[in-house]
Amino acid sequence: MPTQAALYDISPPISEALAVYPGDTPPTREIICRIDRGDPVNLSALHATVHLGAHADAPRHYSQDAPGMDACDLDRYLGRCQVVRVAAHPRQLLTPADVPAPITAPRVLLATGTYPDPTRFTEDYAGLTPELIDHLQAAGVILVGVDTPSVDAFNTEGLPAHHACLRTDIHILEGLMLSDVPPGEYELIALPLRLVDCDGSPVRAVLRTLPTRP
């Protein structure tokens, strides 16, 4: 009998409690219709940054002429993925030496543990160096995901990790929750919305365990 696949939900809950990057637009929900007030339906409008919780950065986010969210290939966000736990300290800039595990999948999620609470924005999360992005590209990686608000450390001038991703054609997921996920290989499912020309999109990111072979 095949073992039932398990799902890890790696998306933080979206509510008005969710923290966003300083200066960005936090989520607010406007309730337009309410059944308990006599309306035939409940109906809400959501106002928020597209970089909300677990989200994809479209290359348009960091380069004016780069593809918007709707132009990004969905294959990036769907398929074989490796979760790698790194022993990061606050504000650390991660290099290839900090990721000693062999890269075995085309999508890599780095669990740094440096941004533990999605309802409280903290500035001391770890970032990625361009050298690490180059290392991932050399290993065949097409997507990198982080458990922090950004692949660049807070207030990093010039966003070097984002631009390294542009140069190496690696797409980015940010704001993931990876603390409960054991390292190893999974299937990633994290499809962005088809937002035309947009600089990013929220995703519902999940990891599905791979079928065990008999």
Helices vs strands, H then E, count in the chain: 2, 13
For residue 172, which of 56, 86, 79 has the smallest C-alpha distance? 56
Determine the interface stretch with Zn ion among 23-31, 55-63, 81-89, 175-183 (rule: CB under 5 A).
Answer: 55-63
Could you say whether residue 199 binds Zn ion (CB under 5 A)?
Answer: no
Looking at the Cβ atoms of 92 and 150, the one nearer to Zn ion is 150
51 is catalytic: no
Backbone angles phi, psi at 136, to 5 degrees: -65, -40
CB of 172 to Zn ion, least distance (A): 6
Residue 211 Cβ vs Zn ion, minimum distance, rounded to whole Å: 33
Q: Between residues 129 and 150, which has the closer beta carbon with respect to Zn ion? A: 150
Q: Which two tokens stand for residue 177?
A: 């929750």
Nearer CB in complex with Zn ion: 57/187: 57
Whole-number Å distance between alpha carbons of 6 and 92: 32
What contacts 25, CB < 8 A, 6 or more positions away? 47, 48, 49
Out of 20, 57, 135, 144, the residue judged to bind Zn ion by CB under 5 A: 57
User: Which of positions 138-157 make contact with Zn ion (CB under 5 A)?
Assistant: 150
Q: Would residue 170 be called left, alpha or beta, if left means φ above 0 and alpha means ψ between -120 and 50 degrees?
A: beta
* Window contacting Zn ion (CB under 5 A); options: 17-25, 41-49, 51-59, 189-197: 51-59
The residue annotated as part of the active site, out of 55, 61, 135, 162, is 61
DSSP state of 60: G
